[in-house]
Structure 1
Amino acid sequence: MDLLHRFEQAFMPNYGLPPIALARGEGSRVWDVDGKEYLDFIGGIATSSLGHAHPALVEAVCKQVATIAHTSNLFMHEPEVLLAERLLALLNAPARVFFANSGTEANEAAYKLALKYGRREGRSYFVAAENGFHGRTIGALSLTGKAAIRDPFGPFPVDVRFVPYGDADALKEAVTGDCIAVFLEPTQGEAGVVPPPDGYFGAAREICDSTGALLVADEIQSAIGRTGHWFAHQADGVTPDILTLAKGLGGGLPIGACVGFGDVGKLFDKGDHGSTFGGNPVACAAALAVLGNVDLGHVRSVSARLRDGLRSIDHPLLKGVRGRGLWLATVLREPRAAAVQRAAAEAGFLVNALQPDAVRLAPPLVVTAGEVDALVAAYPGILTEASK
């Protein structure tokens, strides 16, 4: 395909060569440049909350870009205020918001906010989880527990100590009065959609409370209805000190948010942090459309249908299904996830080979019961083809 050759000639090779070139989408369906139709069970990596070309999103973005598209942080505008107020209402706790453009930028803001707290209190190190993923900029990467992407770019500016995810005893041992903050995902995304044991986040909250360390919840993938709750930490009855958001918040437009609760939200002084595009009017308008159209009841219903349907499949390659809400991984008995991704695409479904033995499913939150049933019906054949 000519487009693939042009892509290869124009871009740095960090993404490799994507196998499919998409041209358009509608709802949970997309079409490639050759006209082939797919059911999208990747959702822009848990980002396209309302699917593709959702009328409310299209209207909000078109109306805003025709009104004013950009202001910078030198001026305020109503969409950013409305969005911050809406998030705070959903969180139902006193807090302050900073808007950025992506997940890694939201985590950079959280990192700097925590660092300011730590230096004020004379604390010296962070704790994060092995196999955790918080982003690829240097601050966020220093907190990312994946050696393959972290190690080539060290040394890092702060001391970060990594503990096994889900091990409350190891976390308790690692967090002392010198710890600045603990960075955790309520479910580890890039590690393979790995939920923690029940009570783990509550234990993390207690450990941080007893030592004075901050608890940072990275909900870049898990928030905005993805797990059937507005924010995954709400299901655990835990309020973090800092919350980071992105991906699904903008429904496909770039936006991130760092939320500081209580006094933590007031730590930054004027000039401590900033973003030229953060809180962009168009991105905020898109996020407001997302928050106004996500149906948590639908997410819970259709995610149970997807999970139960996949778990009912008896196939020698399928070991199990894990995850929360419309954020699942099918776990394989052999490292054939890439083959499953290829076979699924041939069958008209987009899925993501997240780990060698795990395939991520994160469809738009508007995916229908019929579309879920279609994937479940096709999955045994996809697994058989991938086993060849």
Structure 2
Amino acid sequence: MNRIEVIFQQTPPAVSVRANGEILELHALWLRERSQDPAQLDRLTQQRLFDSHAIDPEITLLAVDPISALQARLTFSDGHQSLYDFSFLQAELDADDAFPAAQGWDSSLDQTAVRFAWPDMQAPAHFLTALETYLRYGFIVLTQVPTAPESILDVAAKFGYLKETNFGRYFEVYSKPDANDLAYTGFHLGPHTDNPYRDPVPGIQLLHCLINETSGGLSTLVDSVSVVRELADKDPEGYRLLKDTSVKYRFIDRGTELVSHKPIIKTDAQGRTLGVHYSPRLDGLPLLALDQMKAYHRARKRLGELFCDPAYEIRFPLQAGELMLFDNSRVLHGRSRFDPSEGRRHLQGCYIDLDGPRERYASTLIQLKTIKEVA
């Protein structure tokens, strides 16, 4: 957001803000909720000490007394009066938050820019850089991770909070008989997101390679932000159908059945793409009017073709001691075919909640600021 200018009007009392070339009035109801009075707002937690839902919707401003360019004393019709410092508006009105914005990528991505050594993550500055890269691109690859079983849990704890599922705290990925998922075979796995049948869907997936003695089994990643942008440009109606039409996802295992309903394309309140729920093995074509169903399927088909387009895909061997951490909705993952008879290929995987890296990013920023102030 550009620099803001607060406009105080005394007769009749009003407060407005000029930002990005537009003037927006700050209505009394909105302002009253944001009282900064110590009796109304706790200084440390920044949580309200009153029930803002009980404010009279017809509340008005009775007086505006300017003190400086960003400060004024406001008086409301409910009798409340307090000093307002409007410097908070910069963050309040910014559609983007304090975190790095998502940056779309394709096959031209410099993969060295997303690789970090696990031992370096103990240094706050290096950890912050890794977190920033993850928030920007939706994934990172860690090297030099110990190959002892369950080392993945240490990495999970560093970046967030473990999410346990019916697969356990973590799961093993290797070829085995009577597999309940194609991930546990040597077959090719197309680009997909995990567990779209859950609610909520696991936010972040970690995959840690313990052993890789095969020549195949390359890991593949695709950024849905870039792919969905192309679909929206080339087929706006198809994009709308995939964004607004709910789909049934279903998983059946011995003694377990999980079902959820959600659109394929996931967006935020500003309409920006957050990711997708995409797994052709687990979704069902919704029952729509024939013309609409055909349009929906054409859009779904085109989306799948884009996900498989080499122009959008990166691929690399995940070697022993390497771990990839990725946003399970934003970044689709897959695997090329491999021959189990060549040797062992053993990965461990787990999930953490989506907000973990954001929390760690904010707390690490504060930690580094404190270190700088002390020094």
TM-score by length of 2: 0.26
Structure 1 or 2: larger helix share?
1
Task: Identify, as 1 or 2, the structure richer in strand.
Answer: 2
TM-score under structure 1 length normalisation: 0.25
Which has the larger Rg? 2
